Structure 1
Amino acid sequence: MSPRLALAVASLVLALVPVSGAAAATGTSQATPFPATITAANGKVTVPRRPTRIVSLSPTSTESLFAIGAGRQVIAVDDRSDYPKTAPRTSLSGFTPNVEAIAAYRPDLVVVADNPKDLVAALTKLGIPVVFHKPAATFRGAYQQIRQLGTATGHGPRAAALVSKMRTQIARVVAKRRPAAVGASVYHELDPSFFSATSSTFVGRVYSLFGLENIADAAPGGSEYPQLSPEYIVSSNPDLVALADSVCCGQNADTVAARPGWSGIKAVRNRAILRIDDSIASRWGPRLVNFVRAVGTALGRLGT
């Protein structure tokens, strides 16, 4: 799988129900006390005091940190963290991290989404608390990560409020648009070479919210991110085409319609073409709501 496809990661199972237990209770009524301990992919992580020098090497976590009110505590992010625009710009790499360069920022908390070259262990050895948040596998997992960032940064109440708002907004869109999706199918395009994402992925689960049939699910090979053939896509005749390569690769309704044989596809005939920002379609943070809304809007064009 290419690095670009790796960015499109993460399968997310629908869980639009309250999280029970300690996770639900995190910081709902008062500021997070310190020291604060959470359990991330690297085990139990204790943050001794409210961090003021956070380095985020995860584009999704960067978005979440700013959304929960911890933006002023973030002093550096990786070179792929392009949202929000107010995030500090650096040349730090999340793919090929340099421990010395990260440590030079004197961080009191580092958040990562990957662990190349045993990055987590190297930073931990330097006495730096590290929160390792792998790409979320479920909606519940995505919400838990936001809550954990709230706990680790002293913004528990804001994080809990954000999760509650996301749940409500997503549920509202799905309730309104799901009827239009009954019996309809979708093709999600990761790049112009026709790599797609099945229903067992983060991307695919978004479409499953609406009950859409994903044409990638029946593709041979058993991959979560299969490369489909143009002939397979045309013969599947999807009702909705979602282009998650609109920014990187300039794909749009016109370029799709110009592909040999594609002009007869139902989605092309009905202009049911969704152009979704590549980063929105590959991250599992606050802008998940934007993704769901975009799909809902596109569903309003089915059959028109």
Structure 2
Amino acid sequence: MTPRTPRLFAAALAAGVLLLGGCAEKTSPDTPAAGASGGSFPASVGNLTLEKRPEKIVSLSPTSTEMLFAIGAGKQVTAVDDQSNFPADAPKSDLSGYQPNAEAIAAKSPDLVVIANDTNKIASQLVALKIPVLLAPAAATLDDTYRQLTDLGKLTGHPAEADAVVGKMKDDITALTKDLPKRAEKLTYYHELGPELYTATSKTFIGTIYALAGLENIADPADAGGKSGGYPQLSQEVIVKADPDFVFLADTKCCQQSADTVKARSGWGGVTAVKNNQVVALDDDIASRWGPRVVDLLRTIVDATAKVPA
């Protein structure tokens, strides 16, 4: 992991969120399944219409890969990008979602390609090759996640399964948040994207998940003008002065950060999160995606904060 990687990662996240406003497809009501393949075809999402169920899907988004397998469309997925590592049996390839190559994608003979970013105008390149493309950009809210699951369910012939996944996510989130302790003051947190101290504010998707757990983000004042797109870089002095109750590390895999490495940082020994052993290691992948495993992330956050007396 190079020192610049966290910056690039934060920039990519911000770009994905910015893309959401103009590119997300609208979901139409699902039609009950008909026939062995499930679903009803032709199926349309926004301007994209598929005449029949796709059987050679290429996913260039780790989140979309997770969604496709979660809704039962895994057997239709014939190739995924080099960052898609869940589930383990996803057909990983050398295709890149960051630098997509139309010719390499076309060589897989896909009948549907799912992308998270329209880098290098890859969507129009694929359309010119008569390859259907669905843009499923970074979610800004949980409703965006639910919409993408529903869209994928409709386009792949698994509307009922997609509805079931969405329903379970909603039920699980309700169960996790309905009995949160009533606190006179909200617990505060710092979410770390990388050791360069890039973070995410409450305006981001990840920020909304922490808000569900009733936490207050120390990074919000740093992006009051919105210049960083919700992903500001903080200084050690700002973090130490804010004295967060919790530090959540989303850079444990990429950058080998841990409670011990945080404690060893200059000036961090007196931070409440460090003193009270409330530095929480997250799974980088789960913390950077917006699919069904968001529930696992919320559960980790809720379980960690539940240990603090109200």
TM-score scaled by length of structure 2: 0.88
- Correspondence for 1:243 among 249, 252, 255: 249
RMSD of the TM alignment (CA)?
A: 2.1
Among 24, 37, 40, which residue is 1:33 paired with? 40
Q: For residues 88-127 of structure 1, what are the structure 2 equivalents within 5 Å?
A: 88-127=91-130
Matches within 5 A, 1:210-249: 210-219=213-222, 222=226, 223=228, 224-249=230-255
- The yes-or-no answer on 1:2 pairing with 2:7 is yes
Deviations 1:220-249 (A, max 9, x none): 664211111111111101011100001111
1:197 aligned residue: 200
Which whole-Å CA distance do the structure 1 matches of 2:27 and 2:116 have between them?
Answer: 23
User: 2-side partners of 1:112 and 1:234: how far apart?
Assistant: 39
Aligned-partner residue type, residue 254 of structure 2: C
Number of residue equivalences:
291
Deviations 1:227-280 (A, max 9, x none): 111111111010111000011111111111111111111111111121111111
Between 1 and 2, higher relative CO (CA 8 Å, sep ≥ 6) is seen in 1
Q: 1:88-167 maps to which residues of 2 (within 5 A)? A: 88-167=91-170
2:178 — aligned with what? 175
Q: 1:301 matched to which residue of 2? A: 307
Q: Which residue of 1 aligns with 2:296?
A: 290
1:301 positional shift: 2.9
Q: Which runs of 5+ in 1 are unaligned?
A: 12-20
Change (3 A) 1:197 1:97: same
With over 3 angstroms needed to count, the CA separation of the structure-2 counterparts of 1:164 and 1:49, relative to structure 1, is same
| Contact in 2 for aligned 1:271/1:301 (Cα 8 Å) | no
State the AA in 1 paired with 2:295: V
One-letter code aligned to 1:189? E
CA distance in 1 between counterparts of 2:184 and 2:294 reads 19
Contact 1:270 1:303 in 2 (8 A): no
The residue identity in structure 1 corresponding to 2:289 is R
* 1:134 match: secondary structure: coil
For residue 8 of structure 1, report the CA deviation from its aligned partner.
4.3
Change (3 A) 1:250 1:183: same
What's 1:62 paired with?
Answer: 65
CA apart distance, 1:6: 3.6
Pairwise mapping of residues 260-279 of structure 1 onto structure 2 (< 5 A)? 260-279=266-285
Q: 1:142 to 1:178 in 2, by over 3 A?
A: farther
The whole-number CA distance in structure 1 between the counterparts of 2:282 and 2:247 is: 10
* Gap runs ≥5 in structure 2: 1-5, 18-25
Any conservation in 1 of the 2:98–2:119 contact (CA below 8 Å)? yes
AA of the residue aligned to 1:155: H
Letter in 2 for 1:26: D
Q: Is the 8 A contact 1:188 1:196 kept in 2?
A: yes
Identity percentage of aligned residues: 48
- SS for the counterpart of 2:66 is helix
Compute the displacement of 1:290 (Å): 0.9
What do the CA deviations read for 1:119-163 (whole angstroms, capped 9, x no partner)? 111111111111011111211111000000000000000000000
AA at the equivalent of 1:67 = A
* Matched position secondary structure for 1:246: coil
Change in 2 beyond 3 A, CA 1:181/1:201: farther
Closer, same or farther: CA 26–35 of 1 in aligned 2, 3 Å: same
Residue 2 of structure 1, CA deviation? 3.0
Deviation at 1:179, TM superposition (A): 3.4
Alignment check: 8 A CA contact 2:62 2:84 kept: yes
1:28 deviates by 6.0
What is the rounded CA distance, in whole Å, between the counterparts of 2:190 and 2:79 in structure 1? 37
